[in-house]
Structure 1
Amino acid sequence: MYCSLETELRALELQTGYYSLRQIKAATNNFDNSNKIGEGGFGSVYKGVLSDGTVIAVKQLSAKSKQGNREFVNEIGMISALQHPNLVKLFGCCIEGNQLLLIYEYLENNCLARALFGRPEQRLNLDWPTRNKICLGIAKGLAYLHEESRLKIVHRDIKATNVLLDKDLNAKISDFGLAKLDEEENTHISTRIAGTIGYMAPEYAMRGYLTDKADVYSFGIVALEIVSGKSNTNYRPKEEFVYLLDWAYVLAEQGNLLELVDPILGSNYSKKEALRMLNLSLLCANPSPTLRPSMSSVVSMLEGKIPVQAPVVKRDGQMNVEDMRFRAIEVLSQDSQTRVSNISKDSHEQVSMDGPWIDSSVSLSSSKDETKDHSSSSRLLPDLYNVNLD
């Protein structure tokens, strides 16, 4: 198995380095538990220090996961060809014995999810300019993937746990295991549904219809979380509202969008910029993909170069039916998740007071393209960082 993986990787002509298992064991003190900074269904992530002093993050793939092997190759192939300030940097990989390892740059401030809605001692005091900078950084990273890189890529799993923060709180998009090449001659990709409930665009969750506008939808959700400091999937303002996004629609209709601004900010924020980001988040999360802007337009809107188009959302009967189907998928996936892992029913639930961030992602078979090796299942994806940093 590992020989074939190495053959596949060599064939990719990667623009990245190869590390020996001895080097990585030395860097992580033989994968000492005290160096563990993340954990997921496909393995663990460790902090390490190379002999030249370079601090690294090592993603260790579990030897039990065949699904993970494919994503290992996919992630290396995708990210090795990408270089951008708002994408996490891949230093290289290690395939030796029964080990499959990815070696990344180490980012000091863990993930955006922990910074925004982690335990009180984990949260970071993100002022308004910092939140604005993080949101713009994510938008620039996605604009690069969709429109500027040699490979046009749809990430498919944009969410707060897949946005990492460096020492200066710059945002870097991580985890390309689910990414898909968006070939220019295709208007869309028909594929199995894989991503995270609460962040997936309706047309993708329902029909497996994938374009870069699916990432735009996910970005809209993350932008809403950045402004509000609330998780889209865990926050329940009132019982009748399933998601933070539902509540945002109601407040928008009432003209009270600023009620969503994180109370921690008090009055120390720009109302103009907050309204711009909130309206933009609703525009990006429009149920209709054709009404969502491109990510390059999003960057221009965030920078104030072009006005934000007022979001138009028709909450008609058909959309309510789609919503119910979407929520039915959520219930099914959460029930399955409980049976499979007994870990979490929510997207960002902590196992214990001292436990890691566990992120729930679903994989639902939906196309003729990928049927045999992608069974309908609910699974945990490994986020690059998802527990405490020491």
Structure 2
Amino acid sequence: MTVEALPPPPPIDEALRGQEAYLPPGATEWQPLSDNAYKALKFADAADEAIIRASRSALSDMFSVALQIPNLGFFAGSGTSLGAVGGPSMWSLWQQAMCPDVQDTLSDIAVRVTDTVRYYERKNPNIEHFLSQCDAYLAFNEDAMVSTFLNDVKSLILRACSDFLMNPASDISAYRNLLQKLARRRVRDPRLKVFTTNYDMCFETAASDLGMVTIDGFSYTRRRRFDGKNFTYDIVRREADSHEFAEGIYQLLKLHGSVSWSREGGEIYEDAAPEAVNACLIYPAKGKYQQAFLQPHLELLSRFLEFLRQPNSCLMIAGFGFNDDHLSEPIFSAIQSNPSLKLILCDYQCIAHIHNRGHYGSSPYWGKLRELSEKGFDIHFISGSFSDLVSYIPNLRSASPAEQLANAVRRIGGRA
């Protein structure tokens, strides 16, 4: 007997996109965090400040508990580099690479290449799908035109993911605020681990602005070389008769590589301006899954999987659409097998993704995770931008034992 697939849900109201709201485990309705969200979620015309304050208080209490969990991780997807940060979107990369002269109009060379590799999607073109088509074509054909154009596109992606930080209008204050709040935690706890699929240097730049040290797997020699054992090192402050861990240290694991890495033979080195042919990063393509099992990506991915299995762990995810199966599936599996893992998911289109449940371009993992949350799994959804999320994270230094006790009393109903 065959089971017919359920029809897709109706398109979501556009007014709900980007609204600040919170959906805790087991809840059936989003809790508004702002006046606009209150109105968009179809409450009364006049916002009820008491409901908004209660929602913000619930979110603050959740973060106060989450940030005390020993193993703390933050996962940054491509969405964290958009908006005020100025990073390129997949659509802007398509326009720059394929339509450099007239927007939405393919250049002559782009037309020839797409015809050659048989990429005919014109209504909703995708740079990732196009590069995948080129890779598949070149696997069986020697074609100088396609190979040259593919290298040019990769060079453009490399520059686009590097140059935007040089723009004075680029605002990485959300990155700085995030590191200020999360990395300066109790030194007796494991270091904050930041995982990201982004190639850019936002986290490194923000940490440098704050005078913080980034442990990124590279050596501290004159020419920095990647070696996974560097993640096992730490920095201590040594006194005459004692020593203690230094503050403000965090680990950065760039799962898809970086614009500052180059591959030379079998080694990976830090390089301020690598060429596209030797840049050590996983370009957007369907082959990302296979490339993730090459070094150094395999080393970084294995450490991410190890983190997901650790007891007493909390992973905050922002700007990740769950479109990379080699990362989405481990997260989905971990929340089912690790009972002490807490997930906090934030996305600008979080409400739409959960509503769509695999339709209209949303990943089916959103629906799967929502189903687990409805069953009581420790999965929290926050609708809003990366900067919205950072603004709601409390400063760890302010969470004194007395304040933690007061928060616990309020949570069990002792509000007076």
Please, what TM-score do these two structures have when normalized by structure 1?
0.28
Q: Which has the larger radius of gyration?
A: 2
Please, what TM-score do these two structures have when normalized by structure 2?
0.27
Bigger RCO (CA 8 Å, 6+ sep): 2
